[in-house]
Structure 1
């Protein structure tokens, strides 16, 4: 009898154990389902947050832009390849200092078939153009690109042989791995991701960022980081337009380079919907800058001539019927009246003209003021407040 009772107890005990196991298994499944639902809800909230952020960015007011156009033939006035490279570097520095948004390099000879040509890519795709124009455009693109991305976009090329002679731009978007910034330029990697889960982008940090969009491998993009993920295992961000950093913060985010095969294409291939609403030509034959009153503008263009001036470029362009360059611009200005030299070099004219026009320009939508002193980083704000403690980044070039 006693042994029978013990067996019954054992059977009862194992039965209870099995029931307990089933109950725990059921609880585990319920928790797993609940966790899955929570994860899906979290992803929905995050995607909604991204969409809201993008919409708010798109709704932000547009900002006025400043473009300059110059002929690539200015490089032919340099005696050696080293001087060519240094001259292009001087132009890039001037463009960056005065926060120019677009640089157009045009061919003032307009005779592509009779000249030594090269192929260069701009925002409109690959273009075959006179070699001096292509070289200037390539060097300008190289200097604008952040240092950590150059090896991805600029293979070894003879046009960049003397790039080490050029002074670095130290532009705000040329960030080191130690710099903290909400925005960064990056390149799309070939790292695998799940379908529909975006792309992995290298942004110059030890950790790559996971972005919301599926992008073509090797493409350059601007990323807005989720700052709350900076010190986490997975760094996340969203892909935005290159114009957004300046629209949101006022920080200068570099320039675009466009190629034009003639003077006419500078105007006809304008990337802005309504074209340039203010065009200024520069020449010693123009009216004095002292009496110039700048109207309000959305997109301004300032054009510089080469060694033989804008008259030479107009003469070679068969598309434009006017013979007087003054007729194709809203204003035709002499930016240095009473000059002491017979000629002003184009690289000098850019600095002189932008300095003279700086206080006169009247943008309809000026960018917000930007002022940042982040440790060793220094960025010059549009309102000219100088910030000390500049970190020398020339070692990255």
Structure 2
């Protein structure tokens, strides 16, 4: 009797064990139905399976890291703006220019050479960001005369340093070693924020326009010259020019496939007038405020002038007519009043008499003063939509 009871208990144990195993193997599929396929998750993995899984995880990790590195490289690499691989029929050029004028004395007010370089760099950045075509640096300090011969002293130190740094930051990187030797004014220029304008091209950037310098090496063909344009090979142009001068070159189509690229010399304004691409700014030095107006390099001079001052009319209340050459003048520490006072050639009593518009670009300012480099960003930001709207043809 005892043996029969033991047999029945063993049968029950075996039956429950089989049900447990079957339940463990059962799982639901996507539709919610019971699947009787073997469940391999319930058993131990073999050494080969573990090795294969580790390899798959490692490959997945490496792929993920490679994708992250590629994304970081793309984000860090400067994206070229408005660089042309060719001229399109529908592209419109920009026929008007925007010039700014400011005194070099804003650097004389800085405490050390590092700050002087920084302020000059901020001015160059503002000009590049807002597509300024010309920067005029004028002297608003009083001319001191020598007691012996009566000659006027040289222009202020700030004018010279500001002009040199602005020219340096506008020049493409691959041309700076040809035009700018070591100079104390450029001691801290290397750590300034780059302007990164469209004509600051890398070697792998494709653009039909490039800035270059005429090489001293003679070309193989007679009547031609070589121009260094930042590529591995010098460009050949059908023109004989004096060496070491800066030129703008328009390359022929498909130049990137040529062993020796060829092109033609064009005006520096052609990328702007024909393709609408901003091509940097020029720097002009004026002896005083009156020379800012009379020494214009544009034919007919400036047809619209704007003076900036906290005493002017609010910028929100002005409308500008359509123009060809706009000039925006900024004052230094003493404002435009100081520049007017030291200029003997101007007979006006108030600076607003010199301009078509006398504008306050930052009404209700919270600070007692606005620094010159700050005024550039504020004023150009406020005037940008007004300038754009007045150029739209009705």
Aligned residue for 1:332, secondary structure, equals: strand
> How far is the alpha carbon of 1:193 from its aligned partner?
2.6
Structure 1: 5+ residue stretches without partners: 1-59, 115-127, 367-397
What residue is the counterpart of 1:6 in the other structure? Answer: none
The separation in 2 between residues aligned to 1:188 and 1:365, in whole angstroms, is 37
Q: 1:198 aligned to 2:224?
A: yes
What residue is the counterpart of 1:139 in the other structure? Answer: 165
The separation in 2 between residues aligned to 1:112 and 1:105, in whole angstroms, is 19
> How far is the alpha carbon of 1:365 from its aligned partner?
6.2
Change (3 A) 1:242 1:274: same
The separation in 2 between residues aligned to 1:362 and 1:269, in whole angstroms, is 26
Q: 1:78 aligned to 2:78?
A: no
What residue is the counterpart of 1:345 in the other structure? Answer: 371
- Given candidates 220, 226, 229, the residue that maps to 2:246 is 220
Q: 1:210 aligned to 2:236?
A: yes
Q: Which has the larger radius of gyration?
A: 2
The separation in 2 between residues aligned to 1:352 and 1:113, in whole angstroms, is 37
What residue is the counterpart of 1:88 in the other structure? Answer: 120
What residue is the counterpart of 2:309 in the other structure? Answer: 283
Superposition pairs of residues 347-386 of structure 1, within 5 angstroms: 347-362=373-388
The separation in 2 between residues aligned to 1:250 and 1:362, in whole angstroms, is 14
Change (3 A) 1:251 1:274: same
- Given candidates 153, 158, 165, the residue that maps to 2:184 is 158
What residue is the counterpart of 1:294 in the other structure? Answer: 320
> How far is the alpha carbon of 1:231 from its aligned partner?
1.4
- Given candidates 138, 143, 146, the residue that maps to 1:106 is 138
Structure-2-length-normalised TM-score: 0.72
Aligned residue for 1:338, secondary structure, equals: coil
The separation in 1 between residues aligned to 2:316 and 2:391, in whole angstroms, is 24
The separation in 1 between residues aligned to 2:347 and 2:221, in whole angstroms, is 55
Aligned residue for 2:241, secondary structure, equals: coil
> How far is the alpha carbon of 1:77 from its aligned partner?
1.6
CA contact under 8 A between 1:64 and 1:298: conserved in structure 2? yes
> How far is the alpha carbon of 1:323 from its aligned partner?
1.4
CA contact under 8 A between 1:109 and 1:316: conserved in structure 2? yes
Aligned residue for 1:266, secondary structure, equals: helix
The separation in 2 between residues aligned to 1:246 and 1:363, in whole angstroms, is 19
Q: 1:318 aligned to 2:344?
A: yes
What residue is the counterpart of 1:66 in the other structure? Answer: 98
Structure 2: 5+ residue stretches without partners: 1-91, 147-153
What residue is the counterpart of 1:242 in the other structure? Answer: 268
The separation in 2 between residues aligned to 1:342 and 1:85, in whole angstroms, is 24
Q: 1:178 aligned to 2:235?
A: no
Aligned residue for 1:191, secondary structure, equals: strand
CA deviation vs aligned residue, 1:145-202 (integer Å, no higher than 9, x gap): 0000000000000000011221001111101111111010001111123574221000
Cα RMSD of the aligned pairs, angstroms, is 2.0
The separation in 2 between residues aligned to 1:285 and 1:216, in whole angstroms, is 50
CA contact under 8 A between 2:134 and 2:283: conserved in structure 1? yes
Structure-1-length-normalised TM-score: 0.72
What residue is the counterpart of 1:264 in the other structure? Answer: 290
> How far is the alpha carbon of 1:131 from its aligned partner?
1.5
- Spell out structure 1 runs of 4+ moving beyond 6 A: 363-366
Aligned residue for 2:121, secondary structure, equals: helix
The separation in 2 between residues aligned to 1:234 and 1:270, in whole angstroms, is 39
CA contact under 8 A between 1:226 and 1:236: conserved in structure 2? yes
The separation in 2 between residues aligned to 1:77 and 1:328, in whole angstroms, is 26
> How far is the alpha carbon of 1:338 from its aligned partner?
0.6
The separation in 2 between residues aligned to 1:213 and 1:363, in whole angstroms, is 41
The separation in 2 between residues aligned to 1:101 and 1:174, in whole angstroms, is 15
The separation in 2 between residues aligned to 1:195 and 1:180, in whole angstroms, is 26
